[in-house]
Amino acid sequence: MFLGRCLALRLHSFTTHAVRTVSVYAVQSTLVPRANASHFTRVTASSRVLVRRYCQDSGKPEKQKVEFVLLINTDDKVLGTKTKDEAVLFAKKHDYHLVKLEDDKHAEAKKRKIYKVMTSQQMIEYEEKLAKATARNSAPGAAKQRTVKNGIATSKITENDLNTKLKSIAKWLEKNCEIRVGITGGPDSTKQLEAIYTKCETFLAGEARFLQKRINNGVLKFVIIPPSEKKSSQKPDLSEKEAQEK
């Protein structure tokens, strides 16, 4: 009986102070037992009561799904199944890069995603491997692709070694090759990598175009291709230039 009185007072309070924009619910007299009907004299069978829905925002947030991955070490040793967050922390702790493997033939590929921790050089070589595979599988009717060459070095490369590599790149450009360059360094070697990139641009000025430059996690990557045919045709040969001067 006490509970019935409390409920009646609560409903009366809602009818007095409820906001008009909330949902409307009808309280039917058939839902009230006859024994307690005397305690609900303020709520008739035809009345409508505005009820504020407090429980909308009180639900618990949905639990986030945990992603499990198969982690492989730099030496191809399987480290086991770990959560994605654990794999990221492992790579960060050992100063590695976490790379998702595109290997559908692996036995675990259908069960979970496969990730491998790699050094900077391993990551560059893996990306080049994927690029070559994509080029081989390109449509037969597609335009003929340039021959792709790779240039890999570290941020500690000496001036002489860098000049030697750039001379090799210049010869590849004469053969209409595309050179994909990867310079590895540390997290704090951005200035060194920028300096190396500037030297490459200066050395090959007028002989090449530099594309897709980016520095990520201490690795500098960019692509060098021959100048456009229009610019090449506008550039006079050395013999013609000397003849004009004479």
User: Quick one: how far is CA 108 from the chain centroid?
Assistant: 23
- Do the bridges between strand 178-184 and strand 219-225 make them parallel or antiparallel, or are there none, so unpaired? antiparallel
Q: What confidence tens digit (pLDDT) does each residue in 126-147 have?
A: 887 887 777 666 655 444 567 8
Helix (H) / strand (E) element for 219: namely strand 219-225
The CATH number that domain 122-136+145-233 falls under is 3.30.110.10
Helix (H) / strand (E) element for 114: namely strand 113-118
Domain boundaries, the chain: 2-58, 68-118, 122-136+145-233
Burial-class residue 119 by CB neighbours within 10 Å (0-12, 13-18, 19+).
middle
Of 4-13, 22-31, 86-95, 156-165, minimum mean pLDDT range: 22-31
Q: What confidence tens digit (pLDDT) does each residue in 159-189 have?
A: 999 999 999 999 999 999 999 999 988 778 8
| Structure token digits, residue 176 | 């209409």
Which range scores top for mean pLDDT: 26-35, 37-46, 178-187?
178-187
Task: Please answer whether residues 166 and 149 qualify as being in contact, where contact means their C-beta atoms are separated by less than 8 angstroms.
Answer: no
For residue 44, the tally of other CB atoms under 10 A from its CB is 9
CA distance 224 to 169: 9
CA distance 128 to 219: 14
Strand partners, 149: 179
Helix (H) / strand (E) element for 97: namely strand 97-100
More confident residue, 186 or 38: 186
Q: What confidence tens digit (pLDDT) does each residue in 218-233 have?
A: 889 999 999 876 555 5
CA distance 127 to 135: 12
pLDDT score of 72 more than 80: yes
Four-residue CA torsion sign, 87, 215, 161, 156 = negative
The type of residue at 39 is: H
Give buried/exposed letters for 70-85 (b at 16+ CB in 10 A, else e).
bbbeeeeeeeeebebe
CA distance 67 to 88: 12
pTM of the entire predicted model: 0.52
Confidence of residue 5 (pLDDT cuts 50, 70, 90): low
Q: What is the mean pLDDT of residues 8-34?
A: 50
Give buried/exposed letters for 5-14 (b at 16+ CB in 10 A, else e).
eeebeebeee
Phi and psi at residue 220, to the nearest 5°:
-100, 130
